[in-house]
């Protein structure tokens, strides 16, 4: 049995940005890479998550084991080099770099997610993306254990990396940033925060960020709005009135409510434009037959 924090029948709802989710059979909370490795070797079937900012957890719960990596959160700065653990939240990393006069993380100032998830999906905003300054990534997989991949080996593209193809877990990453005036960096972060406040819902409104990826050469938000998605709702959730690619949990909605609404949004665009939108949201569940059916239709992993 690993010597690490573990909770059984853990109520995960308040850890998710959607504020949705049932009981998890067993949840581990490692504080270091060595703890993570010990846990994973003991629980090789465990699902690994970070800040759960783009994950929908079933209201029916999950009968398996999860590892939450937010405790792996060290930041090491050496000149222009910055190493961050997978659990470091985007705003914390942006602010730390700014205080040290290092530019390259300004776009993460409003991100609710942690570094592992940001690297996993090559997160981007405001003309910057996580791969721009990345040097190498500390990884883990069942087959290889601990290993490193450089930027080219990560196979980054829009909202994706090699991690989705090969089930690679990210435990940390090293970056080479650009020296700049701290006041100019702060001004850029303030500008980015201002944009986010006017174009995306506050986390005071429980949501999971962008629901669907932008298709090539177009915007998911534009397509959804043109298809009338802003009028859609299901149970306790609805499409945000200010941007059609966000779902708000406004009235104690369930995971099934979210999936039903995603299906309505998906079908509205498919019927009007013949385009099948791809979800950005991940799902953890398995106890509800209808949820399984919807995830299969929507191609949610």
Mark whether 34 is an active-site residue: no
Mark whether 159 is an active-site residue: yes
Under 8 Å between Cβ of 269 and 221? no
Q: Helix, strand or coil for residue 122? A: coil
Tokens of 225: 């709005």
Tokens of 126: 């405001």
Mark whether 222 is an active-site residue: no
Helix ranges (H only) for 18-140 are 33-42, 90-99, 115-120
Active-site residue, selected from the candidate residues 210, 233, 254, 268 = 210
DSSP letter string, 144-207: TEEEEEETGGGT-BTTB-HHHHHTPEEEEEEEE-EE--HHHHHHHHHHHHHHHHHHS--TTS-B
Active-site residue, selected from the candidate residues 60, 80, 153, 159 = 159
> Which residues are tagged catalytic?
159, 210, 280
């Amino acid at each position: 049995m690993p010597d690490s924090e573990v909770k059984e029948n853990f109520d995960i709802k308040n850890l998710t940005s959607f504020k949705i989710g049932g009981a998890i059979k067993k949840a581990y909370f490692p504080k270091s890479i060595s703890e993570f490795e010990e846990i994973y070797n003991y629980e090789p079937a465990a699902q690994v998550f970070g800040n759960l900012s783009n994950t929908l957890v079933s209201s029916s719960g999950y009968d398996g084991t999860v590892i939450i990596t937010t405790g792996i959160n060290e930041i090491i700065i050496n000149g222009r080099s910055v190493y961050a653990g997978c659990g470091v939240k985007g705003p914390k990393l942006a602010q730390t770099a700014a205080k040290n006069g290092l530019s390259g993380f300004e776009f993460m100032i409003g991100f609710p997610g942690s570094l592992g998830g940001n690297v996993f999906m090559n997160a981007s905003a405001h003309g910057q993306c996580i791969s721009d300054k990345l040097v190498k990534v500390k990884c883990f997989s069942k087959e290889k254990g601990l290993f490193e991949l450089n930027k080219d080996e990560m196979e980054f593209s829009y909202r994706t990396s090699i991690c989705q193809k090969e089930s690679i877990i990210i435990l940390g990453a090293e970056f080479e940033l650009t020296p700049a005036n701290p006041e100019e960096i702060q001004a850029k972060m303030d500008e980015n925060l201002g944009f986010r406040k006017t174009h995306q819902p506050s986390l005071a409104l429980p949501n999971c960020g962008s629901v669907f990826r932008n298709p090539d050469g177009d915007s998911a938000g534009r397509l959804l709005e043109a298809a009338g998605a802003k009028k859609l709702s299901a149970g306790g959730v609805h499409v945000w009135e200010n941007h059609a690619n966000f779902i708000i949990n406004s009235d104690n909605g369930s995971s099934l409510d979210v999936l039903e609404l995603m299906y309505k949004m998906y079908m509205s665009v498919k019927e009007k434009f013949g385009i099948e939108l791809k979800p950005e949201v991940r799902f953890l569940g398995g106890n509800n037959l209808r949820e399984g059916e919807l995830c299969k239709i929507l191609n949610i992993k």
